[in-house]
């Protein structure tokens, strides 16, 4: 795997992880997209040095491994589908609550409730 590819994948993971930690759904969606790209890049890099054609009819010519490319293609399609679903879900959430923020879950709310009561 070339250093450029490795660093790019690492940067995508870092940015994606940061965005997932945010409260706003749109950022989470973008973050997941970035992580998906990072994973795809890593998968592509696992096939050895890039640049050569995956298929050739000339013996002795340099070939790159076609399998990771096929895997990445499948993974891209799946990531695309799930991202589209997530966007629809974010839109639905916005339509229902008029906000884009992910709220606390039930346990968190119970704990903060208990804290408030004990403080009062």
Partner 1 sequence: MTAVVGLLLVIPLGAVALTLLLPKLVWRRSVSLIASTATLIASVAVLFGVDGDGPIIVNVGGWEAPLGIALVADRFAALMLSVSAAALLGVLIFAVGQRDNDRAFPSFHAVYQTLAAGVVLAFLTGDLFTLFVAFEIMLTASYVLITHRAGPEQIRATMTYVVVGLVASGLFLVGIGLIYAATGTVNLADLSVRLAEVDPALRTAIGWLFFMVFGIKAAIFPLFFWLPDSYPTAVAPVTAIFAGLLTKVGVYAIIRTQTLLFPADKPSTPILLIAGLTMVIGVLGAIAQGDIKRILSFHIISQIGYMIMGLGFFTVAGIAAAIVFIVHQVVVKTVMFLVGGLVENSSGTGRLKEVAGVLHKFPVIAVLFLPAALSLAGLPPFSGFVGKLALVQAGFESGRWLVVAVSLFASVLTLFSMTKIWSGAFWGTPTDNLVRAPAATMVMATGGLVALSLVIGLAGQPLLEIATRAAGDLLSQESYRAAVLVSGS
Degrees (nearest 5) of the Cα angle 94, 78, 43?
A: 125
Q: Which is nearer to partner 1, 53 or 84 (CB)?
A: 84
Q: How far is the CB of 75 from partner 1 (least distance, A)?
A: 6
In 1-120, DSSP assigns E strands to none
Q: How far is the CB of 58 from partner 1 (least distance, A)?
A: 21
Give the C-alpha separation, 13 to 35, whole Å: 5
- Token pair recorded at residue 93: 């959430």
Give the C-alpha separation, 13 to 43, whole Å: 13
User: Residues in the site for partner 1, rule: CB under 8 A?
Assistant: 1, 20, 25, 28, 32, 35-36, 38-40, 42-43, 45-47, 65, 67-68, 71, 74-75, 78, 81-82, 85-86, 89-90, 92-93, 96-97, 102-103, 105-107
Q: Which is nearer to partner 1, 105 or 119 (CB)?
A: 105
């Amino acid at each position: 795997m070339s250093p450029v590819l490795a660093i790019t994948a690492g940067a995508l993971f870092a940015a994606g992880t940061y965005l997932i930690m945010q409260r706003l759904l749109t950022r989470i969606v973008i973050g997941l997209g970035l992580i998906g790209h990072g994973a795809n890049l890593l998968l592509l890099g696992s096939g050895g040095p890039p640049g050569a054609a995956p298929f050739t009819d000339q013996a002795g010519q340099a070939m790159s491994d076609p399998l990771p490319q096929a895997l990445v293609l499948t993974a891209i399609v799946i990531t695309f589908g799930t991202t589209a679903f997530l966007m629809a879900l974010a839109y639905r959430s916005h339509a229902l609550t008029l906000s884009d923020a992910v709220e606390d879950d039930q346990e968190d709310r119970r704990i903060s409730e208990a804290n408030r009561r004990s403080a009062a």
